[in-house]
């Protein structure tokens, strides 16, 4: 619980989805408003992507792969969800 009168700041991030994930979500881009202090994992939970993270889905923030899912997101971040690449 916050101090009375204390307001949580809102941030806005852009989610980018690729491959089958874009098909599942029905779009390649989603602009999301979040509270400051939201982590990558929190965002994944909000969009029901946590199970996919344990199955090889990777995350990039502003073009850099991120392995720390507790990393806090910043305002105007670009968060890409990258499905595993299959080859053959």
pTM for the structure as a whole:
0.85
- Per-residue pLDDT tens for 28-63? 999 999 999 999 999 999 999 999 988 899 999 999
Closest among 8, 79, 68, 7 to 43, alpha carbons compared: 79
Q: Is 24 helix (H, G, I), strand (E, B) or coil?
A: helix
Return the CATH superfamily for domain 10-82: Beta-grasp domain (3.10.20.30)
pLDDT of 3 reads 47
Boundaries of every domain in the chain: 10-82
**Mean pLDDT score, 21-28:** 92
Question: Mean pLDDT score of the chain, rounded to an integer?
Answer: 89
């Amino acid at each position: 619980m916050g101090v009375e009168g204390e307001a949580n700041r809102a941030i806005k991030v852009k989610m980018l989805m690729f491959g089958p994930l874009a098909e599942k979500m029905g779009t390649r881009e989603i602009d999301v408003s979040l509270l400051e202090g939201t982590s990558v994992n929190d965002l994944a939970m909000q969009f029901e992507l946590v199970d996919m993270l344990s199955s090889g889905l990777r995350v990039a923030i502003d073009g850099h792969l991120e392995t720390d899912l507790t990393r806090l997101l910043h305002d105007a971040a670009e968060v890409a969800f990258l499905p595993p690449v299959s080859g053959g």
